[in-house]
Structure 1
Amino acid sequence: MVIVTSNSVTPFRIDIPDSALEDLKDRLRRVRLAGRETTPDSSQGVQRERLQELLDYWASGYDWRKLERQLNELGQFRTTLDGLGIHFLHVRSPRPAATPLLLLHGWPGSFLEFLKTVGPLTERGFHLVIPSMPGYGFSDQPTSTGWNPDRIARAYGVLMQRLGYDSYLAQGGDWGGVVATRMGAQRPAGLRAIHVNFPEFLAAPPVGDDPTPEEKAALEQGSRFFAVHSGYHVVQRTRPQTIGYALTDSPAGQAAWIYEKFLDWTRPDALTRDEILDHISLYWFTGTGASSARLYWEYARQPLAPTELDLPVGVSVFPDELTRTPRIWAERAYHDLRYFNDDIPAGGHFAALEEPELFVEEIVAFARTVGA
């Protein structure tokens, strides 16, 4: 890995050693799985038979080098922001008047979420900057506390200035939506507007005194999520280091931890095994199980204030999202709501990965509302 210092922006290539690939296969051959679940469904977590099938394919059929070659052809870079090395894709559109667009991922996603949108977005007139969050992928792992969403947002503002962009848009879902929102509050030089497909205010929704039916439905979705699907969230915001040991030492553990989310948060067969293993492999080879989880710990230590933004905002509500945002919440949180669409035919939490064509259309439609 290239170590970047000062304000330089250095080309980066991925080259996972053969020894790391062999180590992974050896660990998968010697895996020791828990006994079979005692229910006929996935209510206790990832079912053993399904996980075993994924691990077998990871060991004998999956090709990491294919992804590596694809990424190395795109345009990867590293630079130092606030003392930390940050990895990012930078792909310029052939259109000279293209609009710079910062695309921000979450967990257990990664910059890989946007790969299928790179070609269509650049062809439609966007220069793309797609960073790996601090502690994720090929970005450095923070060695001290403080890398919370506010700090990440400030770093990304510097990144866009360093790349020479004096006017740009930011987009995000999951943690990316949180960081995009914090950028919207900070208003770094050049940021014109933000677009989110998972608003930060869902952590503390702006509920009215007499909730509408849409608000009640969203609140019920949120309650179900925390009752059924939030085990990972509690662990990562309270004990990220402890779970990190297991994720870093066991490929089966890392796979199950992430596989569960792709199964629970997408419709059946929305993603291929290779797309799922691309993400799992990225976390495994970079050893970022603990460092990525710490973002939850950092966020839990920031004051959670009501979201209010004055710059232009767009919201796309995909039908299978964990919580479907009611328009009235967006109107209360965003004082300059330029775009809101809750009539999208398909897609869920990993919208760009699941439905890249629909995701691209949402970005294009929003960009038009802000003159981009």
Structure 2
Amino acid sequence: MTEQIRPYAIDVPQAELDELRDRLGRVRWTEELDDAGWDYGVPVDHLRKLVAYWRDEYDWRAWERRLNAYPQFTTEIDGQTIHFLHVRSRRPDALPLLMLHGWPGSVVEYLDVIEPLSADFHLVIPSLPGFGFSGPTKDRGWSPWRMVPAFVELMKRLDYGSYGVVGNDWGSYIAPEIGRAAPDNVVGVHVQQVWSEPSGDPEELARLTEQERAAVAENEWFSGNGGAYDKVHRQIPQTLAHALADSPVGLLAWNGQLWRDSVDIDFGLTNVSIYWLTGTIASAMRIYREFYVAEPVAKERTTVRLGLAMFEYDWNSVRTLADRDHANIASWNVYDGDGHWAAHQATDTYVQDVRAFFGH
């Protein structure tokens, strides 16, 4: 029974939506300095507008119908429920693609690319364990490394012996590890970030180009000035989770700080709504803590083909450092414009890059 794959449909009880709307109408707003802007975090006026729209105009049922338009399933792997969309191409010889999101994302990240990509690929789009419709994780240790064999098993259960892996954010970390774990099955890995950081060796830094050193400096600036969420999630995620699980406005501010005005409001609110309605903010944040406390894994350079589609204002992937960790980088494309959620923000460019990398 644990290997059974069960059909799934999203059906949020109306009482839960009514309760959310009631909470959004009873906000205890914080004070702030008159000239604060974004200097201290998410501004009150910005949040007021989002909350008003969420309460009075946003239509969860429309997004629920959009999600339910695609076949969805759940299965249990390693004691954990895993939810996934499974959209088969009309081409029987299509290559399967496993598509992995990150935080504060969800399967919604890939909705815009399902139609164009399913012309050439079978698509498997899971909610990461502990995220969204996969529900909260039930025990310790659900680090990215533990997710790797779970996703290998998922593709095995779907009878896919050969497949590609696509990832963003945490998905960009997990995807190459799936290639490392199942090199005979994974034909290529396509990511939006290559998480190769400086080792601290002065000789390594000396080998970087001037542009790469500037990218490293920008990454260090972001870590020191915009990475508070990362530190909190790694150190005390449960402490914050008490507030976010009780306040949808707090959840909106915390998750929405990273997308600000870079995505349309309905996309952003749908992601936040999923965290709220599934009660997974605590378990989703735990991925950072589990990553931080896990035993370091000694690794050889990956040999599976790797492709990067990097967008402006996202994490700066550094080619020299990436070559240190990956032996087979087949494409390295840098695009203008914001695109941390490129499948949504830059759909055409993203689809073209994925197709080109996998030979379609």
Residue pair 2:70, 2:85 contacting (<8 A) in 1 also:
yes
CA spacing shift, 1:202–1:91, aligned 2, 3 Å: farther
Cα distance, 1:193 vs. partner? 1.6
**Alignment match, 2:163:** 168
Separation in structure 2 between the aligned mates of residue 176 and residue 224 of structure 1, nearest angstrom:
23
Residue pair 1:37, 1:47 contacting (<8 A) in 2 also:
no
**Alignment match, 2:142:** 147
Q: Which amino acid aligns with 1:223?
A: E
Cα distance, 1:235 vs. partner? 0.7
**Alignment match, 1:236:** 233
1:363 aligns with 2:359: no
1:349 aligns with 2:340: yes
Separation in structure 2 between the aligned mates of residue 173 and residue 37 of structure 1, nearest angstrom:
36
Percent pairwise identity: 38
Separation in structure 2 between the aligned mates of residue 205 and residue 71 of structure 1, nearest angstrom:
45
Matches within 5 A, 1:1-372: 5-123=1-119, 125-187=120-182, 189-202=184-197, 207-263=204-260, 268=261, 270-302=262-294, 303=296, 308-323=301-316, 325-342=317-334, 344-368=335-359
Q: Secondary structure at the match of 1:338?
A: strand
Separation in structure 2 between the aligned mates of residue 75 and residue 203 of structure 1, nearest angstrom:
42
Cα distance, 1:305 vs. partner? 5.5
Q: Which amino acid aligns with 1:326?
A: V
Q: Secondary structure at the match of 1:261?
A: coil
Structure 2: state its 5+ residue gaps: none
Q: Which amino acid aligns with 1:364?
A: R
Q: Which amino acid aligns with 1:97?
A: D
Cα distance, 1:95 vs. partner? 1.4
Separation in structure 2 between the aligned mates of residue 185 and residue 38 of structure 1, nearest angstrom:
52
Instruction: Show CA shifts across 1:140-193 (max 9, x none).
Output: 312211111111011000000100101000011110011112212212652122
Which region of structure 1 is more displaced relative to structure 2, 226-235 or 197-206?
A: 197-206
CA spacing shift, 1:176–1:205, aligned 2, 3 Å: farther
TM-score normalised by structure 2 residue count = 0.95
Residue pair 2:173, 2:194 contacting (<8 A) in 1 also:
yes
Separation in structure 1 between the aligned mates of residue 139 and residue 3 of structure 2, nearest angstrom:
21
Cα distance, 1:331 vs. partner? 2.3
Separation in structure 1 between the aligned mates of residue 157 and residue 23 of structure 2, nearest angstrom:
42
Q: Secondary structure at the match of 1:315?
A: strand
CA spacing shift, 1:137–1:93, aligned 2, 3 Å: same
Separation in structure 1 between the aligned mates of residue 33 and residue 160 of structure 2, nearest angstrom:
52
Q: Which amino acid aligns with 1:209?
A: A
CA spacing shift, 1:275–1:127, aligned 2, 3 Å: same
Separation in structure 2 between the aligned mates of residue 49 and residue 307 of structure 1, nearest angstrom:
49
Residue pair 2:136, 2:279 contacting (<8 A) in 1 also:
no
RMSD of aligned Cα (Å): 1.7
Cα distance, 1:22 vs. partner? 0.6
Instruction: Show CA shifts across 1:316-353 (max 9, x none).
Output: 22122132x233223222111111112x2333211112
Separation in structure 2 between the aligned mates of residue 94 and residue 14 of structure 1, nearest angstrom:
25
Q: Secondary structure at the match of 1:53?
A: helix
Instruction: Show CA shifts across 1:274-294 (max 9, x none).
Output: 111001101110111111000
Residue pair 1:181, 1:200 contacting (<8 A) in 2 also:
no
CA spacing shift, 1:127–1:104, aligned 2, 3 Å: same
Q: Secondary structure at the match of 1:200?
A: coil
Cα distance, 1:357 vs. partner? 1.0
TM-score normalised by structure 1 residue count = 0.92
Q: Secondary structure at the match of 2:98?
A: strand
Cα distance, 1:204 vs. partner? 5.7
Separation in structure 1 between the aligned mates of residue 200 and residue 87 of structure 2, nearest angstrom:
35
